[in-house]
Amino acid sequence: MAFLGKGKKQDMLQLAEELGINATLNMTVPSIKIAITNSEGYEEEFVKNLYETIIANGKRLEELERAEKIRLEELVKEHALKEKELQLKFDLERFKIESKFRVNDESNDSTNACSVTSNLNLKKLIPDFDTKQSDISLYLVIFERQAKRASIEKTELVGQLLGLLPLEIVQFIAREPEEQAENNDYVKKLLLKRFKLSPEVFRQKFVQHQKKSDSTWKDFTFEITNYLDEWLIGLYIEINTFQDIKDLMVVDQLKNAPMLV
């Protein structure tokens, strides 16, 4: 009879029902036990096996319900995530279209044709931006130089820049208020604040940067000069004399020189 101490009240009520015993929810657990053990034709071994089967089936049903609940929750989360991604893509496309229409309103047909050509040229001239490795400040300088050479109007700069940046950065900008997201100066400050590299990364780039085969020595000089400038700016060190530079190089060497054991 000790086996009746297992399981839940609901399991015991189901056992009573299987045995043809009239038991209700209003009855206490001890009352149900007595009704079962005092029932006509009660055989302990048979009742024990039946009760264990009822308990096992109940646990299995609970596990299935729990798994189904988790599955439904995951589906809801996945659906919500997809809806969010679709909304972001929709907002991004709307932002691009609205920007394009504003440019069209302010420009004539020949200017628009020139703008499309300029965009294609910029894609060829400016490398892809890597959020983990690329220097956003240098990237923006290069972009503005190439945009100036392509005679792109200031009002078109943000739209042209969006066409060159990865989707995650474009979405990051698109979350800003519409008026600010179209302001080139505001977007520059936003990108510099969010993606600017640390002084140590600039130091490594200054030391390790190599000239690419398709770039000029002038471009290479500009790039390493920019890395040096950003490194020094990040350190908040004022360099006025040659001695200041020597001191910086010595300190940097001391910091990075390996220790001999």
Give Cα separations from 258 to 165, 208, 247, 249, 254 (angstroms): 39, 18, 19, 16, 9
Q: Which of 139-148, 170-179, 227-236 shows the lowest mean pLDDT across its residues?
A: 227-236
Whether residue 84 is predicted with pLDDT greater than 70 in this model: the reply is yes
In sequence order, what DSSP letters do the residues of 186-220 get, joined into one string? Answer: HHHHHHHHHHPPPHHHHHHHHHH----TTS-HHHH
Model confidence pLDDT, tens digit, residues 164-181 = 888 888 888 888 888 888
The pLDDT value given to residue 77: 84
Whether residue 101 is predicted with pLDDT greater than 60 in this model: the reply is no
**pLDDT band at residue 121, thresholds of 50, 70 and 90?**
low
Tokens representing residue 6 in the block: 């297992």
Average pLDDT, the chain: 77
The Cα–Cα gap between 5 and 184 comes to: 74
The Cα–Cα gap between 93 and 100 comes to: 10
What pTM value is reported for the model? 0.40
Residues in CB range of 165: below 8 A, 6 or more apart: 129, 173
Q: Which of 42-56, 124-138, 161-175, 178-192 shows the lowest mean pLDDT across its residues?
A: 124-138
The arithmetic mean of pLDDT across residues 238-254, rounded, is 72
Give Cα separations from 87 to 54, 74, 81, 98, 203 (angstroms): 49, 20, 10, 16, 40
The pLDDT value given to residue 103: 52
How many other C-beta atoms can be found within 10 angstroms of the C-beta atom of residue 223?
21
Model confidence pLDDT, tens digit, residues 58-69 = 888 888 888 888
Whether residue 245 is predicted with pLDDT greater than 60 in this model: the reply is yes
Tokens representing residue 209 in the block: 């940067």
The pLDDT value given to residue 97: 63
Tell me the range of 100-109, 119-128, 202-211, 243-252 where mean pLDDT is highest: 202-211
Model confidence pLDDT, tens digit, residues 1-23 = 677 777 778 888 888 888 888 88
The arithmetic mean of pLDDT across residues 144-162, rounded, is 85
**pLDDT band at residue 111, thresholds of 50, 70 and 90?**
very low
